[in-house]
Amino acid sequence: MKTSIAPSFNARRILSALRGRGVASRADLARDLQLTPSTVTRLTGDLIARGLIAERDEPIRTGQKGYPARLLELAPMGLCTAGVYLDPDRILTCLADSSGGVIVSEEVRAEDRSFETLMTEAAASIDRLVAQSGLDRARLAGCGVSYPGQYSEDPGRVMRIRQFDGWPEIDVQRDLSPFFGMPVSHMNDAKAACLAELYHGRARDLGNFCHVWLSYGIGGAAVVDQKPYLGRNNQAAEWGGLFPKSRPRPSGQDLLGMLEAAGVAVTRLSDIDASHLQLPVMREWTARAIDQLRWLCLVIARTYAPEAIIFGGTLHPDLLDEIVDELSGEAPLGEDFHFAAPPILRAEQDRMPQLGAAALPVHDVMGARMRADEARRGW
């Protein structure tokens, strides 16, 4: 057994396969991943010793000759992480296990939007959750932080964004880790939410898909080979850019604007409830948004040709359901489709946006992609 936290490349491929399949025997894994049984035995032994996966004790009786397969699965509490999501007007936090189960969660209203205040409040909330859950703090692999907004230049190090004016230029490792006392990673809200789908939701078994995140803005992510493709300045898959801000667009902010103009007293997305959904102004917005999003799906299908397009966000769930129902219905996306257009699916893990943030450390530790230090060493 090794002492390092990070599993090796093929060990992560095994974790990834188990996530996609649910359960699998060592022999299954060897076949699927083109590894030798001996390698699988060794790596899974490692992973079991570390508590990341577990062997089911029930013997399976398939009626088949030969040694009965012993099924492996992810150990739910094998990798616990913390997540912090900063809304414009609230802080959402949670602790999550490796199967995407939210152990505890909390919502905090922030006094002001200064960097210090928000991070101090968020860290205090995580501390409360740790105490409340009785979890050993050392078992937390890391804390993910996500919030809406575009990155500025020099991605990774700096993240000044418009929503939080007055914030200093931030180096994730240097400025955030001290608050939380564990490794911290950061991503834009939509791309973090996409990770929640990749690791715990609708995209568990997909390698290439696109995610559309409808919140105050229109965000998104494209996953290529189980890895978010970021592009220059992390601007890839920022679908919102396809809808000019000078014109009506399918964003939550646009919806709130229409509601306000119609005299409906709603200023936050979280204040929209079932009673609003049948208002004429709401129907009008929805119909228009669906048309625009159908066009977006066409564009995504033609550019990324993903295995699926997944819709999620902080809009009212019924609204998102309706949008997906319409888009996945009969109306064709466009002309000249010689192959079926990608299926359009509803996100499963957007009820708690902080879960996306909590998926970030999972991605760092378990992502089945090759990391820089491994490319260097050649594994």
Task: Tell me which residues touch its own copies (CB under 8 A).
Answer: 8-10, 13, 33-35, 39, 150, 153, 208, 222, 224, 229-239, 241-242, 244-246, 298-307, 334-339, 342, 370, 372-373, 375-376, 378-379
Residue 351 near which of DNA, its own copies, none (CB within 5-8 Å, type-dependent): none
Residue 138 near which of DNA, its own copies, none (CB within 5-8 Å, type-dependent): none
- CB nearer to DNA: give 57 or 165: 57
Residue 232 near which of its own copies, DNA, none (CB within 5-8 Å, type-dependent): its own copies
Q: Provide the minimum distance between the beta carbon of 336 and its own copies in the complex, in angstroms, as a whole number.
A: 5
Single-letter amino acid code for the residue at 192: A
- Residue 325: CB partners within 8 Å, gap ≥ 6? none
Which stretch in 23-31, 119-127, 166-174, 308-316 sits in contact with DNA by CB under 7 A?
A: 23-31
What phi and psi, each to the nearest 5 degrees, are found at residue 255? -60, -45
Instruction: Tell me the HSE value of 172 on the side-chain side, using a 13 A CA sphere.
Output: 18
- CB nearer to its own copies: give 130 or 366: 366
Q: How many residues does this entry show for the chain?
A: 379
The closest alpha carbon to 187, from 54, 89, 83, 334, belongs to: 83
For 52-161, strand residue ranges (E) read 53-55, 71-74, 80-86, 91-96, 102-108, 140-147
- CB nearer to its own copies: give 265 or 372: 372
What phi and psi, each to the nearest 5 degrees, are found at residue 137? -55, -30
Q: Provide the minimum distance between the beta carbon of 37 and its own copies in the complex, in angstroms, as a whole number.
A: 13
User: Could you say which of 11, 145, 193, 255 contacts DNA (CB under 7 A)?
Assistant: 11
Beta-sheet pairing, 71-74 with 23-25 = antiparallel
Residue 147 near which of its own copies, DNA, none (CB within 5-8 Å, type-dependent): none
Footprint (CB under 7 A) of DNA, residues 51-70: 59, 61, 63-70
Check residue 254 and give left, alpha or beta (phi > 0: left; psi -120 to 50: alpha). alpha
Q: Residue numbers of the site for DNA (CB under 7 A)?
A: 2, 8-11, 25-28, 34-45, 59, 61, 63-70, 376-379
